[in-house]
Structure 1
Amino acid sequence: MYSWMWSKLPGQWPVKLIITLIIAVAVFFLLMEVVFPWVSSMMPYNEVAV
């Protein structure tokens, strides 16, 4: 899968590396800002009764 993605990116390897890093950072922030808070609100540990 990664070799397929690497071959589809434009440019030489330094440009591909920069594009890959930008994509990885974008996915990281998408997960941290959207996906994880949504999943966290659905987890049962938010309803603790002691």
Structure 2
Amino acid sequence: MMYGALWRALPGPAWVRALTLLVLAAAVVLACFEWLFPVVAEHMPFNDPNVQTGTDGALPAGPVARDAAEPSEVLA
């Protein structure tokens, strides 16, 4: 419905309308990448590059930061 209204609102023959719509779509994509996405990215939690450490500066214990065990100890 919206696309039909936009198509009827544009002047000229069909090829001019199609070209105009392509230029408008490219302008919207460019505006999103230049202004909208950088502003939104500041508020996204997955863009935080900081590594959380304990009070002593050590990495928290977890599946990655564990003591190295001998293979026999792991299987026992």
- How does 1:1-50 map onto structure 2 within 5 Å? 1-47=2-48, 48-50=50-52
Pairs aligned (count): 50
> Given residue 41 of structure 1, which amino acid in structure 2 is its aligned partner?
E
- Unaligned runs of 5+ residues in structure 1 are none
RMSD of aligned alpha carbons: 1.1
**TM-score normalised by the chain length of structure 1:** 0.90
Which of the two has greater helix per residue? 1
Asked which structure has the greater CA Rg, the reply is 2
Displaced runs of 4+ in structure 1, greater than 2 A? Answer: 46-50
- How far off is 1:22 after superposition? 0.3
Q: Which has the higher contact order (CA 8 A, sep 6+)?
A: 1
